[in-house]
Every structure is written in C-alpha cells, then in structure tokens.
Amino acid sequence: MSVSALRSERLGHGQAIGAAAAGVAITLLAFWLTPMQGRADFVVVAYLAGTTGYLLAAARTESRRSVVDRLAAVLMATTVGLCLLALGSVLMYTAVRGLKSMDWYFFTHSMNGVGPRDDAGGAYHAIVGTLQQVLLASLISVPSGLLVAIYLTEYGRGRLASLVRTVVDVMVGIPSIVAGLFVYAFWVLGLRRGFSGFAAAMALSILMLPIIVRSAEEMIKLVPPSLREAAYALGIPRWRAILKVVLPTASAGITTGVMLAVARVTGETAPLLLTAFGFDSIQNDPFSGPQSSLPLFVFGQASSAFGAAVDRAWAGALTLIAVVLLLTVAARLVTRRNRLVT
C-alpha cells in the first residue's frame, strides 16, 4: 500500500471537529427535549458525546490500532485536564478569597492583642516562624538524607543496606502526628526543653528525611557508570568523584526531591501543635519559647466562627502557597545556574 493511500485513511481535522460538534449538538437536543438540566451535567454529557462521535468517526475511516491510539490519547488528555482543573480551581478559589485580606499591614504585623472579630492583625509572626522552621528542618534533613543516599548507592552492601532501605521505606508512611508525638515525648517532655521552633523543625525533618533519601538515591543511580569510571581512571579518590562528579550530575533531580520534601512539610499542622504550640506575638528566636507558623495561623483563624478571622485564614493559606512557589522557583534557578556553570 502506498504512502498516499495510508494518509487518505487518516481522519481529517475537519471531520474530527464535525464529529465532535455533532455529539455536542445531540447533547443540546437531549437537554432541550428531556428533563435533564444543570451546567455541570451538560458539560460532562457533551464531552462524552463529543468524544464518542470523534472516536466513531475515526473507527469508520481508520484501522483498529489507530482508533485505540486515539482513545489512549483522549484518556491521557482527559486525565491531565482533570488534574489541571482541580489544581487551578484550588489556586483560583484560594486567591480570590485570600486577596481580600492581603495588604502591607497583613505582612508587617502579628496577632498580638487582636481579637477574632477585629479586622486588624497580620501573619508576620507566622511567616517568620515558617521560614525559620523549614530552614532548620532542611539544614538537618538535607545533609543527612544525602549521606544516607550516597551510602546506599555507592557503599551499602549486604544486610545493613537492606535494613536501612527498609527503615526508610517505613518512614515514608509514618503519619505526621507520629513524628510530632515522638519529638514531644523526647524533646519537650523527656529533656524538658519546652515548646520551640527548633522542636518543630526536628519533627519536620523526620518527615523530610525519607523523601530526600529515596529521591536522591534514585537520581544518583541514574548517573552513568562511565562518569565514575572516567574519574577513577584519572586517579581521583572515590569520595572526591562522588562530590565533584556524581552529585553535580544528579543535582537537578536531587533539588527536585528536596523541594518536594519542603512542600510536603511546609503545610503540616499536626506535628507543630505538639512542638511549636503557636504564639500570637513575634518570636524571632526558634530555640526558646513557643513559635507560630503559617499552618498554625491558618488552623487557628479558620477555627473561629467570625468572618474576619476566616478571611485572615484564607490570606494565610495564599501566603503559604506563595512561599512554597517562591522556594521552588528559587531552587530551579539555582539548579539551572549550576548546570550552566558545570
């Protein structure tokens, strides 16, 4: 069969659009003649009818394999669209509700002396607490996680490596409240250190550690063995080859895993209730005394029955999303710069 004959069997763009439009027209007629109503119902039925018409038209002109390929493409596009729709809806609704209470005053004042009915008050103390706690948790978990990942990929053999992997896999599924309870029992009560931002950072680092280990381990495994062999052939010690060759090559994926871990713990509330406890005033010292954070701020304000407090909760939620977004963009820029330099 010639190439022109194969091309003639493909469904044209005009035919595809016409078949989909016919399905939408049938849906309009069905909603007009039957008791069916509702915008959401119409969108769902019209999409299904249009997709069915499109696939039936393809089945009349194309082979079975081509129709199955088109069906897979439709399913893929549908799932991607649903995910983007859900994400966009959450972001849009949070932005619409949160922008009402976001101003310069909100970012420069705390909730000290502000009642639930008052329109005043801000989240400065919570922003400071979140940044300090996430930074301390990253300083604890990122080096530790990288060292564990390097051990598992470059040095670990036998039962000890299997035991470490098992422990890491178990830690991935630990509920966040368990990490908070552990730090609460060990640090707050056992050592009598009291509530603090550092205690919250330790609880968050427990949640970050397995994510960093697993992501870094997989990224290091993707580094071609030839790069290591070339470094060894030049007489470079193994530790220096890992530091100068392996880690820079896997830096993009490792950074992505770190940012996933940061995003995972930035919005955690349960462990902070048992470790940081929350504080309405500005607490710049994370090592002494209770400290607030954006998740605790949102939780406390959303628990109120007054509209002003709920508006502050939406503003805090939008601020939390913005903080995670800024950290992710900054990490991407740093990673791109490092790749260009190397």
Q: What was the pLDDT predicted at 167?
A: 93
Question: Residue 277: beta bridge partners?
Answer: 291
Confidence band, pLDDT 50/70/90 cuts, at residue 4: very low
pLDDT digits (tens, 9 = 90+) for 284-320: 999 989 999 999 999 999 988 888 899 999 999 999 9
> How many of the other CB atoms lie within 10 Å of CB of 154?
14
Spatial distance between the Cα atoms of 265 and 254, rounded to a whole number of angstroms: 17
Residue of higher predicted confidence among 338 and 15: 15
Task: Give the mean model confidence (pLDDT) for residues 213-232.
Answer: 91
Spatial distance between the Cα atoms of 135 and 268, rounded to a whole number of angstroms: 14
Q: What was the pLDDT predicted at 7?
A: 42
What value does the CA radius of gyration of the chain take, rounded to a whole number of Å? 27
Q: What was the pLDDT predicted at 337?
A: 59
Of residues 212, 144, 145, 205, the one with CA closest to residue 180: 205
Of residues 286, 290, 289, 285, the one with CA closest to residue 300: 290
Residue of higher predicted confidence among 124 and 10: 124
| CA angle at 17 for the pair 12 and 23, rounded to the nearest 5° | 130
- φ, ψ of residue 277 to 5 degrees: the values are 75, -35
Stretch (H or E) spanning 69: helix 64-98
Task: Give the mean model confidence (pLDDT) for residues 254-272.
Answer: 90
Confidence band, pLDDT 50/70/90 cuts, at residue 341: low
Residue of higher predicted confidence among 8 and 81: 81
Task: Give the mean model confidence (pLDDT) for residues 27-32.
Answer: 88
Residue 183 has pLDDT above 60, yes or no: yes
Q: How far is CA 179 from the centre of its chain?
A: 20
Query: 3-class SS at 269?
Result: coil
Residue 340 has pLDDT above 70, yes or no: no
Spatial distance between the Cα atoms of 11 and 60, rounded to a whole number of angstroms: 9
Task: Using alpha carbons, list the distances in angstroms from residue 193 to 126, 206, 234.
Answer: 21, 18, 51
Q: What was the pLDDT predicted at 37?
A: 81
Task: Using alpha carbons, list the distances in angstroms from residue 88 to 76, 85, 196, 202.
Answer: 18, 5, 35, 33
Q: What was the pLDDT predicted at 81?
A: 93
Residue of higher predicted confidence among 157 and 152: 152
**Is the four-CA dihedral 61, 64, 67, 69 of positive or negative sign?**
negative
Task: Give the mean model confidence (pLDDT) for residues 211-224.
Answer: 93
Confidence band, pLDDT 50/70/90 cuts, at residue 214: very high
175 in Cβ contact with 239 (< 8 Å): no
Mean per-residue pLDDT of the chain = 89
pLDDT digits (tens, 9 = 90+) for 99-109: 988 889 899 99
Q: What was the pLDDT predicted at 260?
A: 87
Write out the two tokens for 82.
């649903």
pTM of the model: 0.82
Residue of higher predicted confidence among 80 and 63: 80
Spatial distance between the Cα atoms of 231 and 156, rounded to a whole number of angstroms: 20
